[in-house]
């Protein structure tokens, strides 16, 4: 019996990507043959970094992972999943609050497009981290060195010159 090739799609805004996201990526790549990190373009969200900047930051971070690629997309995630021939959608879970929302989303995606969702729990040290929280802390000058990769920290410091200056 031959092993079936499995491509996973990890969609999100990643504005910015956090150590929690990277934790999910590094553990999930052990489960799949290929992982496509899909940076969503949302006309509704007020985004800090452009899709191109987010793709660039993430590509720097996953350059050492040969079975991972990074792309941006617009529109419905399930339609993009079909375009890249993804077998599953990967989602990271941080807390019980995430479970309720993600469960509903997974059920909808399966009903609408017949695609399954695989969940990977983030490590406990990142369970509270979100891109929204990162943007807020950065805007108020907080130190994010334990929560985001160095290249992201540098970009946040460019946007918010007081980032990391508060003790």
Q: Higher confidence at residue 166 or residue 23?
A: 23
Would you place residue 166 in the very low, low, confident or very high pLDDT band (cuts 50, 70, 90)? low
What is the pLDDT, as a whole number, of residue 73?
Answer: 97
Q: What integer is the mean pLDDT of 35-64? A: 92
How high is the pLDDT of residue 159? 92
d(CA 19, CA 147): 5
Q: How far is CA 15 from the centre of its chain?
A: 9
pLDDT at 17: 97
Q: Is 18 in contact with 51 (CB distance < 8 Å)?
A: no
What angle, rounded to 10 degrees, do the helices at 150-159 and 51-62 form? Answer: 150
What is the pLDDT confidence band of residue 46, given thresholds at 50, 70 and 90? confident
Q: What is the pLDDT of residues 4-18, one digit of tens each?
A: 999 999 999 999 999
* Averaged confidence pLDDT in the chain: 92
Pairing of strands 7-12, 88-93: parallel
Which residues are known catalytic residues?
21, 45, 94, 131
Are 164 and 142 in contact by the 8 Å Cβ rule? The answer is: yes
Confidence of residue 96 (pLDDT cuts 50, 70, 90): confident
| Residue 98's pLDDT band (cuts 50, 70, 90) | confident
- Residue 167, pLDDT > 70, answer no
pLDDT band at 165 (very low <50, low <70, confident <90, very high): low
User: Tens digit of pLDDT for each residue in 111-163?
Assistant: 999 999 999 999 999 888 899 999 999 999 999 999 999 999 999 999 998 76
Three-class SS state of 18:
coil
The single residue listed with the structure tokens 């969200």 is 45
Domains delineated in the chain = 7-123 (3.40.50.620)
């Amino acid at each position: 019996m031959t092993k079936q090739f499995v491509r996973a799609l990890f969609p999100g805004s990643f504005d910015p990507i956090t150590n929690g996201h990277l934790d999910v990526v590094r553990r999930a790549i052990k489960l799949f043959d290929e992982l496509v990190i899909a940076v969503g373009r949302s006309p509704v969200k007020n985004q800090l970094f452009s899709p191109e900047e987010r793709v660039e930051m993430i590509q720097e971070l996953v350059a050492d992972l040969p079975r991972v690629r990074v792309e941006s997309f617009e529109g419905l995630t399930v339609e993009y999943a079909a375009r890249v021939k993804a077998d599953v959608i990967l989602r990271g879970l941080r807390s019980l609050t995430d479970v309720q929302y993600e469960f509903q989303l997974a059920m909808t995606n399966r009903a609408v497009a017949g695609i399954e969702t695989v969940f990977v729990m983030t490590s406990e040290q990142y369970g509270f981290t979100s891109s929204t929280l990162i943007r807020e802390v950065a805007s108020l000058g907080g130190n994010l060195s334990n929560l985001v990769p160095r290249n992201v920290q540098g970009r946040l410091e460019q946007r918010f010159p007081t980032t990391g200056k508060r003790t």
